Amino acid sequence: MKYSITILFVLFAVTVSYCQCLPEYGFAVRQFKFDSTSINYIDKGVGQPILMIHGLGGNASHWKSIIENLSISNRCIAIDLPGYGGSDIIQNLEPKKVLQTYANIAVQLLTFLKLNKVTLMGHSMGGQVALILALQEPTLINQLILVAPAGLETFTESESAFLTKYATPSFYESQDSITIERNYNANFYRSNQEMNRLIQERLNLKKCVGFRNYCSQIVLGVQGMLSSPVKSRLSFINQKTLIVFGENDSLIPNRLLHPTLTVRDIANIGMLIPNAAIAMIPEAGHLLPLDQPAALTKMIKKFIP
């Protein structure tokens, strides 16, 4: 009996620890297989489907507030990219194939769910993935919503080399609580409950077995964005497109490498897409889905017929 109680206690401790390693999704999480890789996703609501792809270092829970507001009238599907949230990593993924692989995973999920003519929404790195996917599958993707998208701002070879030099797994692993809090503050215009949640989840993640894998995925994402430019192909995107930026985005453009560029300058590059519209949200930072979810939701509802 004593041993049984001990085993139960250990199992309980392991379960609690594992739960702390996962995001607070707010919704039931499902899984599908991409080859042999288990991929997590949320599927909530009915109506016109919207597939949501998170940004660098994020997960499906970054769309939590948007899903709460949109799932009344839309089917909201949000994915954990490989190595993020509860999704498995893909071993030996080449940097040049990272974003294309993410796009392929999104296609396979839509095929698995038997969906087409979907609205595709991507944030930051997820926005760049969305652009690649829209170019690749013009009949599958009906319209695009790009939220503070990466891929519009471009970098020279020397700038890319500079960024990849410092983006290493050990760089992200070594960040202390002060640095983590400062980084999340840079993503928001002002602190709120969701920002505090992300900070705590990131601190919890440092104690998890898969933390180094998570840091490696961030590095792969940086390398993937730099090696998958899309600006020269924007004119080939046929879908109706909404591009949304926060006026106070402190991450795009890169302030160190491009100090003379403004957020509006980067947004205007999106007008290379023939059927694009730009919207700016005041008092909003980079992580718009959690910083200004009500304002973003209002724009999305106005855009989707």
Q: Is the pLDDT of residue 8 over 50?
A: no
Question: What proportions of the chain, in percent to the nearest 5, are helix, strand and coil?
Answer: 50, 15, 35
**What's the rounded mean pLDDT across residues 198-226?**
95
Query: Is 266 a residue whose pLDDT tops 70?
Result: yes
Q: What is the DSSP string of 69-121?
A: HHTTTEEEEEE--TTSTTPPP-TT--GGGHHHHHHHHHHHHHHHTT--SEEEE
Beta strands 30-34 and 37-44 are: antiparallel
Query: Coil, strand, or helix at residue 176?
Result: coil
Look at residue 19 and tell me whether its pLDDT is greater than 90. no
pLDDT band at 48 (very low <50, low <70, confident <90, very high): very high
Q: How far apart are CA 162 and CA 14, in angstroms?
A: 40
Query: 141-147 and 118-123 as β-strands: parallel, antiparallel, unpaired?
Result: parallel
Whether pLDDT at 7 is above 50? no
- The answer, yes or no, to whether residue 174 has pLDDT greater than 50, is yes
With CA atoms as reference, report the closest residue to 93 among 77, 80, 81. 81
d(CA 43, CA 66): 13
pLDDT tens per residue, range 28-43? 999 999 999 999 999 9
What pLDDT was estimated at residue 305?
A: 74
Asked whether residue 13 carries a pLDDT value surpassing 60, the answer given is: no
Question: What is the C-alpha separation between 221 and 59, in angstroms, rounded?
Answer: 13
- Token pair for 141: 């993707």
Q: Which CATH class is domain 2-303?
A: alpha beta
- The Cα 82–Cα 86 span in angstroms is 8
CB 251 within 8 A of CB 189: no
Question: What's the pLDDT band for 171 if we cut at 50, 70, 90?
Answer: very high
Structure tokens at 37: 């890789």
Q: What is the mean pLDDT of the chain?
A: 92
What are the residue ranges of helices labelled H in 167-261? Answer: 169-173, 177-187, 193-205, 211-226
> What is residue 14's predicted lDDT score, i.e. its pLDDT?
37
Task: Report the relative pairing of strands 37-44 and 74-79 from DSSP bridges.
Answer: antiparallel
Banded model confidence at residue 20, pLDDT cuts 50, 70, 90: confident
Judging by beta carbons within 10 Å of its beta carbon (0-12, 13-18, 19+), is residue 4 exposed, middle or buried?
Answer: exposed
Query: Is 124 within 8 Å of 147 (Cβ atoms)?
Result: yes
Question: Is residue 208 packed enough to be buried (19+ CB in 10 Å), middle (13-18) or exposed (0-12)?
Answer: middle
- At residue 11 the predicted structure's pLDDT band, cuts being 50, 70 and 90, is very low
